[in-house]
Amino acid sequence: MIPLKNSLQIAEMKKAGRITAEAMDAAIEAVREGISTYELDRIIRHHIERCGARPTFLGYGGFPGSACISINDEVIHGIPSRKKILREGDIVKIDVGAFYHGFTGDMARTIPVGQVAPEVLHLIEVTKHSFECGVEAFREGNRMGDIGYAIQSCVEAEGFSVVRKYIGHGVGHELHEDPEVPNFGTAGRGVKLQTGMTLAIEPMVNVGRPEVRELPDGWTVKTADGTLSAHYENSVALTPEGTVILTAVYD
């Protein structure tokens, strides 16, 4: 069942989304050479708890951090660690959610550490753009396959690939709700998109092949071929006025 949200619920989700986005901003500001992913995680947890919210990821399925922090060829679900130190030229993916008043946000960004190669910046840009293409397709009258098709087309036009094994999802009271939101698909297929849907749209884009592998730590997912991967995500609502990004700070 797909839980649709009314305007009051969407207003509540914006509050959780705002805290999520503020925590992300604080972490992004702290990204620099020499900082550990543990320290970034601590900054995120501190902000979320200071707002009277709870880090949604902390303890989710046993996850030990408040955020998933993944470096370079790590795609998603990296575990924050004192031993993981950012280096100039790295890219770091931060994925975070804050649970507040019964709802959660979910968002991810890919941040360059210092100077990175132009082709790496291009990967980050294309990933963000593919998210925007997905949002563009999130409207009444379309189907889920239109979102996936839009994202996939945008990514593959640049010679990159979208991860198949992990996908976006509905978001609301739960971090993962129906429906599934694949970053690939066939236009015109899949569930009908409706006003009141709240989706975490989150392309994961690899420079090389789309295959991934899980590390023995039970969490970290890497590209199978060792190439770089980027991630971009927001929680997005479809309202009578169109799409609204929930994981944002509006003033």
Q: Interface residues with Mg ion (CB under 5 A)?
A: 106, 200, 202
Compute the least distance from the CB of residue 168 to Mg ion, in Å. 6
Compute the least distance from the CB of residue 106 to Mg ion, in Å. 4
Q: Which is nearer to Mg ion, 123 or 200 (CB)?
A: 200
Residue nearest to Mg ion (CB): 200
Looking at beta carbons, which pairs linking 218-226 to residues 24 or more positions away fall under 8 Å?
219/63, 219/68, 219/77, 219/78, 219/79, 220/70, 220/74, 220/77, 220/78, 220/79, 221/70, 221/74, 221/75, 221/76, 221/77, 221/165, 221/166, 222/73, 222/74, 222/75, 223/73, 223/75, 226/73
Compute the least distance from the CB of residue 32 to Mg ion, in Å. 26
Sheet strand arrangement including 91-96: 67-71, 91-96, 107-112
Closest-CA residue to 75 (of 201, 207, 183)? 207
Compute the least distance from the CB of residue 166 to Mg ion, in Å. 9
Compute the least distance from the CB of residue 172 to Mg ion, in Å. 12
- Report the 3 state secondary structure along 153-170: HHHHCCCCEECCCCCEEE
Q: Which is nearer to Mg ion, 162 or 200 (CB)?
A: 200
Q: Which is nearer to Mg ion, 37 or 56 (CB)?
A: 56
Q: Which is nearer to Mg ion, 175 or 188 (CB)?
A: 175
Q: Which is nearer to Mg ion, 98 or 200 (CB)?
A: 200
